Amino acid sequence: MIPTEASLLARAQDGDIDAFEELSGAYADRLYMLLLRLLGDREEAGEVAQEVMVRAWRGITRFQGRSSYFTWLYRIAVNEANRALAKRERQPPSVPLGPQELDLPASPTDDPARQAENNELRRALAAALAMLPPPLRTAIVLRDVEGFSTQQAAEIAGVSPAAFKSRLHQARLQVRAAIGDDALIAVGG
């Protein structure tokens, strides 16, 4: 029988590391991708991901199920990413998040000129996201890239929905200003 998340959680809270690994392992890839987007550096994302797991393990007995386990784990990841970014003294990622760095697939179009234009926009977007202050980057990554609802994204970011929306709108405005309306409309409009 495949153990349920609830049974894995109960076992993990009783100190079963195998259960913890199975429980958290289901979200490991997605969590790592989030860290990669927020930090823009594979090595650092890997190190922070390990720290997230340690913190989750140490705190798992305090998890009371008020949010989903996934949301709780993601919130730890966002906090740890912000802590790592603060350590860099607010410097942007040394390696910008870009299609090449992250092995993003090429945009799906048969027209080479259009594809080049799309890829150029994607690179510019990734660079603009990397330049955002961490709270704004977190907002746009959670809402627009990861596709969370505002409510869930706010919960993960640890702020009220109103504060989250304010950050999201600021983030979009800053990225829009960095890319330029004409470039956005030419490719996406």
Q: Does 165 sit near other proteins (CB under 8 A)?
A: yes
Residue-level length of the chain = 189
Q: Does 3 sit near other proteins (CB under 8 A)?
A: no
Q: How far is the CB of 178 from other proteins (least distance, A)?
A: 10
- List phi, psi (to 5°) of 121: -65, -40
Instruction: Quickly count: other Cβ atoms within 10 Å of residue 111's Cβ.
Output: 9
Determine contact, residues 154/163, Cβ cutoff 8 Å.
yes
Q: Does 103 sit near other proteins (CB under 8 A)?
A: yes
Q: In this complex, which beta carbon is closest to other proteins, that of residue 84 or of residue 187?
A: 187
Q: Does 67 sit near other proteins (CB under 8 A)?
A: no
Q: In this complex, which beta carbon is closest to other proteins, that of residue 86 or of residue 106?
A: 106
Report residue 107 as tokens: 């945009």
Q: In this complex, which beta carbon is closest to other proteins, that of residue 83 or of residue 169?
A: 169
Task: Choose one: 33-41, 109-117, 130-138, 152-160; the region binding other proteins (CB under 8 A).
Answer: 33-41
Q: Does 31 sit near other proteins (CB under 8 A)?
A: yes
DSSP 90: T
- Least Cα distance to 27 among 146, 114, 124 occurs for 146
DSSP reduced 3-state for 14 = coil
Determine contact, residues 149/41, Cβ cutoff 8 Å.
no
Q: Does 88 sit near other proteins (CB under 8 A)?
A: no
Determine contact, residues 32/73, Cβ cutoff 8 Å.
no
Contacting positions for other proteins (CB under 8 A): 13-15, 17, 20-21, 24-25, 28-29, 31-33, 36-37, 46, 49-51, 53-54, 56-62, 102-105, 107, 121-122, 125-126, 129, 140, 144-147, 150, 165, 168-169, 172-173, 175-176, 179, 181, 184-185, 187-189
